[in-house]
Amino acid sequence: MGLVEGKNAIVTGGSLGIGTAISLDLAEEGANVALTYRSHPEEAKEVARRIEEMGHKAMAYQIDVSDFAAAQEMVDKVVEEFGGVDILVCNAGMNWDGVIWKMTEEQWDRVLGVNLKGYFNFARAVTPIFREQQSGKIVNITSINGLRGKFGQTNYSASKAGIIGLTKAMARELGKYSVNVNAVGPGLILTEMLRKNPAREKVEEMALGEIVLGRLGQPEEVAWVVSFLCSEKARHVTGEVITVDGGQYI
């Protein structure tokens, strides 16, 4: 049996990169998976197809995660289609970089809306269910840049730091209902987004100067930790931030 056999999971931002790896690993560990996407429909449908090939239910749902009502609507549909929800992995995120003295209000609002409010929206939708059933797992994807800050990313770093505070507060509120809430903080991970980055060589060089293991992380290495936290093997772990960064933060 897999780590999450028979469970129903929601993964936001599941069509690319780390989100795809999380969606597929949860399915490999036995879960039905509903994933969200915003602008990559073909990729999302392919992930759903691969999950169904494993013998599990899958749903690819287009949504702007910053829309409060839309998040609730999706959770309702997952409950209707899957028969319930047991796991929430909030991963959908974006960056729109700029130094603070040049950052626009739109840049700030959009990044905080997706990266932080989006997490609140889905947590708000699933937690009444988790309270009632006295069980549930929530894993929030943050970043080492929410722990330390990064030049040119005040909005992104603030949103990722906010996710850490959100995680710890929710862990306190939901613990008595046997709901575990944790965060995973990746360092630089080798995704398609990085591969297509015109400054990839410089970005990698800087990161490798910090990573004590001497290599970039792979998306599945983040996914493995997420699946563990979604399982009963992590039932006494809550309110934690686990970095998956090869020692980049230390």
Establish whether 249 is a catalytic residue.
Answer: no
Q: Which amino acid is at 158?
A: A
Q: Which 3 state secondary structure label does DSSP give 47?
A: helix
Helices vs. strands in the chain: H and E counts, helices first: 10, 7
Q: What is the Rg, in whole angstroms, of the alpha carbon atoms belonging to the chain?
A: 17
Tokens of 21: 């790896």
Catalytic residue among 37, 119, 156, 249: 156
Which residues have CB under 8 Å from 101's CB, separation 6+? none
Pick the closest to residue 114 from 239, 21, 17, 13 (CA basis).
13
CB atoms inside a 10 Å sphere around CB 49: 11
For residue 153, which phi and psi values (nearest 5 degrees)?
-135, 50
Four-residue CA torsion sign, 145, 150, 154, 155: negative
String of b and e for 192-230 (b: at least 16 CB within 10 Å)? eebeeeeeeeeebeebeeebeeeebbebbbbbbbbbbbb
CB atoms inside a 10 Å sphere around CB 110: 15
Quick check: 60 and 27 in contact, CB under 8 A? Answer: no
d(CA 142, CA 162): 9
Which residues have a catalytic role annotated? 156
